[in-house]
Chain A
Amino acid sequence: MSAVAPRRKGAKESAATWSVLDRVGLAACWVAGIGLCVVCLAIIGFMFVKGIQYVRPDLLFSRTIASSNEAGSGGYFDPLVGTLLLIVIGIAIALPLGIGIAVWLTEYGRPSGLARLVESGVEVVAGTPSIVLAIFGLAVFQGKLFAFLSFTQQGGGVWGRSFFTAGIMMSLIALPLIVASTREALRSIPNHVREASYALGKTRAATIRRVLLPGARPGIATGATLAMGRIAGDTAIVILLLGGSALTTQGNVPVLNILKGGGSTLTTFVYANSPAGEGNKPDKAYAAAFVLLVIVVALNFGLDLIGGRRGRTAWTK
């Protein structure tokens, strides 16, 4: 309930009295928690140290140059822009769709057969490996109908690969995360809050718009952050639907020419330059991996602040 008296401090229970098994269990919990922190620091530290000579701010803004010489191959401007563009396109599509689906499921959800169908649909998309989404996307976007999203080769073949097509498939990766977090947030708003709005003569639409969506905002922000991380981390869709090249433009309409063109992201850049890829510029790959890591961590902290997750008091059920 609301006010709870401060608990009086007595003698602390000591783990020394526990059975051996319990003590081992407790120790394991400590080790697991601390171990995770160590692993996390190790990843960041390793990437930093290995790629330190190329972890340089100026490389963020210099174009990538195709060269077999590591020092002369330019910066990661192209893949960085690629990653950010895909995040923006993917979220821009998935956010309204995902919120819409979640609102329909929680606030309407009728007929219930259709609701179950939508629910399973979202689950299937969530469980589909992104390489499957990617090859499906390629098949679809090479159709004549979608020629406007990429470029058409001489002879009429639709290329099917562009920031548009990759971004659309990325939105499918983001969608289930946004639907799930929005639903969870809406469900956690007690019913009497909705009724309080109806009791002021408001319609259901007005209640959703002015009470429920603002109330669900922190949850939606969490889902969007997770989704951005997933988009930034995906490689399969980039390789199949973006090409993994430097930024290429199609046509002369500004912005649109970039979106219709191909490119790469930090993930494919790391892959291509790693010892496993063709470029074999491992230090640059480590440096780019470090940059990718920093972006994802920054996304998490940034949205934490915007979403206002902190200092909010919830309603009593």
Chain B
Amino acid sequence: MDEVTSTAHRAAAVPPPVRRIVLDDQPTVVTPGANGNGNGNGTRTPAVRFAASDTAARERMRVEELTIAYAGRVAVRDVTLPVRQGEVLSLIGPSGCGKTTLLRSLNRLTELTPTATRGGRIALDGQDVDELDVTLLRRRVAMVFQQPNPFPMSIFDNVAYGLREQGTKRPGKRDLAPRVEEALRRAGLWDEVADDLGRPALRLSGGQQQRLCIARALAVEPEVLLLDEPCSALDPRSTQTIEDLIVRLRAEVAVVIVTHNLQQAFRVADHVAFMYLGELVEYGPAADVFGNPRARRTREYVSGSFG
């Protein structure tokens, strides 16, 4: 199933392996050592190692030559990007350019789409994400969706959900209360819901629901937080609250936010990646991308909003 060139561990010079991802099928990378070095004891080493550089200490994730296709139609082509701790990375670009697809690949949610295939490498702290247990990976790389989607349970249980064992209510309320409170505080929702955590989460307003979803994601203490147009269904005031929240969170987690609102990208992002028709056209500090774009496409897109 895997097509890996046997010399792949000489890294960058070699074209990326193309892996077919099949639902319910564990995608793995055959490490070059298995047939080359003859250590043959079945242990697998991370397929991707990145050269240590001065930024490596802060770099949490790295996307290299990432290509994703749906049933053969390429949606993301050959994208290479770093995701760093302590800053907000914003993905911008017109609708359908592959922002969501790229974001979802970071915690392997693309695998849920049976037609999706992927090539290239994604690493979390230097380790290929395909090597990680997917349930652990998704706790380390948490995600907030475009539409608020609290679960049909109480506010407390929503936040506790990710902390509990699969399919159970263990550990119980008493043990989790401090962590639930902390997550709600970090998401700026505590003061509004503290008096009744037993209320059904679906009764909250849209903005509160979205902050609950952020609290739910933060509760598992992720290293990377993915946000896919988190404000597109919200009113301006809730949007403001969430933007403030994102800026505050930046110190603790690496944040990647997809937005088609350029003003918002400008307000919250430190680095901006502009995508167009699946390709990464420009990547750089927000001030440069918005103030002094190098590519003509970026200039045209950005000027539409900042004209």
Contact = CB atoms under 8 A, between A and B. Distances in A.
Contacts of A209: 167
Contact of A201 (B149, B152, B220): B220
A210 B153 contact: yes
Contacts of B139: 200-201
B80 interface: no
Interface residues of A, number: 30
A184 B142 CA distance: 30
B258 interface: no
Interface string A230-246: 00000000000000000
Query: Which of A1, A195, A311 has its CB near the most chain B CB atoms (within 10 A)?
Result: A195
B233 A200 contact: no
Interface string A195-206: 111111111011
Contacts of A197: 151, 161
B166 A203 contact: yes
B51 interface: no
Contact of B145 (A192, A203, A217): A192
Contacts of A315: 147-149, 202
Contact of B138 (A193, A200, A214, A317): A200
Contacts of A311: 203
A215 interface: yes
Contact of A202 (B112, B135, B203, B213): B135
A118 interface: no
A314 B201 CA distance: 11
B166 A196 contact: no
A313 B203 contact: yes
B109 interface: yes
B109 A199 contact: yes
B233 A201 contact: no
Query: Which of A202, A211, A217 has its CB near the most chain B CB atoms (within 10 A)?
Result: A202
A195 B134 CA distance: 13
A24 B216 CA distance: 56
A245 to B, nearest CB: 46
B206 interface: yes
Contacts of B217: 199-200
B167 A210 contact: yes
A99 B26 CA distance: 29
Interface in B191-245: 200, 202-203, 206, 213, 216-217, 220, 233-235
Contacts of A215: 151-152
Nearest to A313: B202
A311 B203 CA distance: 8
Contacts of A5: none
Interface string A212-236: 0011010000000000000000000
A7 B237 CA distance: 22
Given A197-B151, A313-B202, A2 B142 contact: no
Contacts of A206: 166-167
Nearest to B228: A192
B101 interface: no
A206 to B, nearest CB: 4
Interface string B110-143: 0010000000000000000000001111110011
Contacts of B233: 1-2, 316
A203 B24 CA distance: 11
A312 interface: yes
A201 B136 contact: yes
B107 interface: yes
A139 interface: no
B86 interface: no
Nearest to A191: B112
A200 B162 contact: yes
A3 B112 CA distance: 32
A198 B138 contact: yes
Closest 7 pairs (CB-CB, A-B): A206-B167, A200-B162, A201-B135, A206-B166, A215-B152, A199-B143, A201-B138
15 contacts: A2-B234, A2-B235, A190-B149, A192-B145, A192-B147, A192-B149, A197-B161, A198-B112, A200-B138, A200-B216, A201-B139, A209-B167, A210-B167, A214-B152, A314-B202
Interface of A: 1-3, 190, 192-193, 195-203, 205-206, 209-211, 214-215, 217, 311-317
Given A195-B145, A202-B161, 17 more contacts: A2-B233, A2-B234, A190-B147, A192-B146, A195-B112, A196-B213, A198-B112, A198-B138, A199-B138, A199-B145, A200-B142, A201-B162, A210-B153, A210-B167, A311-B203, A315-B148, A315-B149
Interface of B: 107, 109, 112, 134-139, 142-143, 145-149, 151-153, 161-162, 166-167, 200, 202-203, 206, 213, 216-217, 220, 233-235
